Amino acid sequence: MDVADRVAKTFRMSDEAWQRHANPWSVWTRFAAIPLMLLAIWSRTWIAWWSLVPVAAVIVWLFVNPRAFPPVREPRSWAARGIYGERAWLEDRDLVPPDHRRVLRLLVALGIIGFGLMVWGLVMLSVWPTVFGTTLVVVAQLWRIDRFGWLWERHRAHRS
């Protein structure tokens, strides 16, 4: 079991949860949680330990989010196709051709570098690594969703 499998298990992603998570509102509000989490962590300089309250609120939202919106049964939007593709990939890793595996590994590496910069910026209370790291994380995730959307289209074409 790799990290992606563990994350899906942690969030208890059932069929219904995946369909709800494929709702574009779910996808975009998870992205909206990123600056909220950054602000919550940064707020430790203003409100000290009380900053754990907004941090906890964002964490709770991230667990509730995949179940908060109506399910998408037929993925038509870019975001929904990406989430359906991610699920198909989790169920059968062989769906991804070798050249796309390299791209996915690159995106994971980019996201890890971005996350490291983001954490460093938050610890040091430095704006540029926080913003640059967050940008890398978001770009990597958006590109990943795009690749999974392509994967879903390919997977659906092969099933037909």
Domain boundaries, the chain: 75-159
Residue 23 binned pLDDT confidence (cut-offs 50, 70, 90): very high
Alpha carbon distance, N-terminus to C-terminus of the chain: 30
Length of the chain, please? 160
**CA 149 to centroid of chain Cα atoms:** 14
Model confidence over 28-74: pLDDT tens digits?
999 999 999 999 999 999 999 999 999 999 999 999 999 999 999 99
pTM of the model: 0.88
Closest CA to 145 of 84, 98, 90, 99: 84
Model confidence over 110-158: pLDDT tens digits?
999 999 999 999 999 999 999 999 999 999 999 999 999 999 998 887 7
Q: Is the dihedral of CA 72, 77, 83, 85 positive or negative?
A: positive
Pull the structure tokens for residue 9.
Answer: 């298990």
Q: Check residue 95 and give its pLDDT.
A: 84
Look-up of token digits 């540029």:
128
Q: Check residue 117 and give its pLDDT.
A: 98
φ, ψ dihedrals at 68, nearest 5° = -85, -15
Pull the structure tokens for residue 85.
Answer: 């593709």
Closest CA to 117 of 141, 137, 103, 139: 137
Q: Over 26-85, what HEC string results?
A: HHHHHHHHHHHHHHHHHCHHHHHHHHHHHHHHHHHHHHHHHHCCCCCCCCCCHHHHHHHH
